[in-house]
Chain A
Amino acid sequence: MLRIEDLTVAYGRVRAVTGLTMHVEEGEFVGVVGHNGAGKTSILMTIVGTQRPAEGSISYEEQDITRRSPDDILRMGISLVPEGRRIFARLTVGENVRIGGHARRDRAAVAKDLERLRERFPVLAEKWDRSGGELSGGEQQQLAIARALVSAPKLLLLDEPTLGLAPLMVDRVFEILEELHAEGRTILLVEQNAKRTIEAADRTYVMRSGGQIQFQGTSRELSEMSDFETAYIGMAGDGAR
Chain B
Amino acid sequence: MIGAIDLQVGVDAVSFGALFAVMALGLALLFGVMRLMNFAYGELIMVGGYTMYYTRDFGALPMILITIVVVVFVSVLMELIAFRPVRHAAPVTLLITSFAVSFGLQQVAFMTVAKGRQKGVEPYPWLTDQHHIAGLRLSNLDILTLLVAAGLLIGMTLLLKRTTIGIQLRASTEDYQMAQLVGIRGNRVISFAFAITGLLAAAVCILFVLRTGSLSATMGVTPLLIAFVGGAIGGLGSLTGAALGGFTLGVVINSIQSSLPVDLSGYTLMFAFLFVIVVLVIAPSGLLDLTRRVWSAATTRFEVLNRRAA
A residues apposed to B, CB below 8 Å: 48, 50, 69-71, 74-75, 80, 82, 86, 88-91, 95, 98-100, 102-103, 147, 151
The winner among B177, B181, B183 for most chain A CB atoms within 10 A is B181
Q: Mind listing 21 A-B residue pairs with CB under 8 Å?
A: A50-B181, A69-B180, A70-B177, A70-B180, A71-B183, A71-B184, A71-B186, A74-B181, A82-B178, A88-B171, A88-B174, A88-B178, A91-B167, A91-B170, A91-B174, A98-B167, A99-B168, A99-B182, A100-B182, A102-B167, A102-B168
Residue interface mask B256-275, A partner, CB < 8 A = 1: 00000000000000000000
Residue interface mask B14-37, A partner, CB < 8 A = 1: 000000000000000000000000
**Contact residues of B between 176 and 210, Cβ < 8 Å to A:** 177-178, 180-186
Chain B residue at minimum C-beta to C-beta distance from A86:
B178
CA distance A91 to B173 in the complex (A): 11
The answer to whether B174 and A71 touch across the interface, beta carbons within 8 angstroms, is no
B residues apposed to A, CB below 8 Å: 164, 167-168, 170-171, 174-175, 177-178, 180-186
CA distance A56 to B29 in the complex (A): 39
CA distance A102 to B183 in the complex (A): 8
A60 to chain B, nearest CB (A): 15
Chain B residue at minimum C-beta to C-beta distance from A74:
B183
Q: How many A-B residue pairs have CB under 8 A?
A: 54
A123 to chain B, nearest CB (A): 21
Chain B residue at minimum C-beta to C-beta distance from A95:
B167
Q: Given A82, A95, A98, which contacts B181 in the complex, CB threshold below 8 Å?
A: A82
Kindly list chain A residues whose C-beta atoms are within 8 Å of the C-beta of B174.
88-91
CA distance A86 to B168 in the complex (A): 15
Kindly list chain A residues whose C-beta atoms are within 8 Å of the C-beta of B177.
50, 70
Q: Is the interface of B mostly helix, strand, loop or mixed?
A: helix
Kindly list chain B residues whose C-beta atoms are within 8 Å of the C-beta of A98.
167
Kindly list chain A residues whose C-beta atoms are within 8 Å of the C-beta of B180.
50, 69-71
CA distance A90 to B174 in the complex (A): 8
With A50-B177, A86-B178, A102-B164 as contacts: A75 and B170 at CB distance below 8 Å: no
CA distance A99 to B173 in the complex (A): 14
The answer to whether B170 and A48 touch across the interface, beta carbons within 8 angstroms, is no
Chain A residue at minimum C-beta to C-beta distance from B178:
A86
CA distance A100 to B179 in the complex (A): 9
CA distance A124 to B177 in the complex (A): 24
The winner among B167, B171, B178 for most chain A CB atoms within 10 A is B178
The answer to whether B183 and A151 touch across the interface, beta carbons within 8 angstroms, is yes
B172 to chain A, nearest CB (A): 10
Chain B residue at minimum C-beta to C-beta distance from A96:
B171
CA distance A69 to B181 in the complex (A): 9
Kindly list chain A residues whose C-beta atoms are within 8 Å of the C-beta of B164.
102
A23 to chain B, nearest CB (A): 23
Chain A residue at minimum C-beta to C-beta distance from B238:
A90
Kindly list chain A residues whose C-beta atoms are within 8 Å of the C-beta of B175.
86, 88
CA distance A75 to B182 in the complex (A): 9
CA distance A29 to B143 in the complex (A): 64
B42 to chain A, nearest CB (A): 28
The answer to whether B178 and A90 touch across the interface, beta carbons within 8 angstroms, is no
Q: Given B170, B171, B183, which contacts A103 in the complex, CB threshold below 8 Å?
A: B183
Kindly list chain B residues whose C-beta atoms are within 8 Å of the C-beta of A74.
181-183
